[in-house]
């Protein structure tokens, strides 16, 4: 049984939660937040949508299987970890672009590491929950 109220709320909450997850991702370098928390909020947004409309409808919104986000995120995170080696610095040394970018702030390897973590968390959480949801039907 699908709830009309949950469906109406989900239509508005999905974009709001995704924007909030990006805010948490970008804010994570200076204050609490980052890729892990932002990824969890993004995953929760899609889980809420799947409760309202069903897992199949939510997977159609995503266009790609969530499992494909995991290697992409791992690749971005690993690349950001090892880029400092090219400059003769230890692994995971933060490299920063000298000028701040409006809205985003300072851009550096830490941001790309967080983006990788964000994608891995979204991929893992949605893969697990969607797999469970599709297997129970």
pLDDT at 22 exceeding the cut of 70: yes
Residue 134: band (very low, low, confident or very high) from pLDDT cuts 50, 70, 90: confident
Q: What is the mean pLDDT of the chain?
A: 91
**pTM of the predicted structure, to 2 decimals:** 0.91
Burial class of residue 48 in the structure, from the number of CB atoms within 10 Å of its CB (0-12 exposed, 13-18 middle, 19+ buried) = middle
The three-state secondary structure class of 108 is strand
Find the mean pLDDT for residues 53-82: 94
Contact 75, 116 (CB under 8 A): yes
By percentage, how much of the chain surpasses pLDDT 90?
70
pLDDT at 137 exceeding the cut of 60: no
Tally of domains in the chain: 1
| Residue 17, domain extent | 4-135
Return phi, psi of residue 31, to 5°: -135, 175
């Amino acid at each position: 049984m699908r709830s009309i109220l949950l469906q109406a709320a989900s239509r508005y909450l999905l974009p709001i939660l995704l924007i909030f997850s990006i805010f948490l991702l970008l804010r994570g370098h200076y204050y609490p937040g980052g890729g892990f928390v932002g990824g969890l909020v993004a995953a929760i947004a899609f889980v809420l949508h799947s409760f309202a409309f069903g897992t199949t409808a939510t997977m159609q919104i995503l266009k790609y299987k969530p499992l494909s986000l995991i290697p992409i995120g791992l690749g971005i995170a690993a690349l950001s970890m090892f880029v400092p080696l090219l400059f003769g610095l230890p692994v995971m040394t933060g490299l920063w672009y000298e000028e701040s970018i409006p809205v985003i702030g300072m851009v550096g390897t830490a941001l790309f590491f967080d983006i990788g973590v964000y994608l891995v968390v979204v991929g893992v959480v949605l893969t697990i929950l969607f797999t469970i949801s599709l297997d129970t039907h």
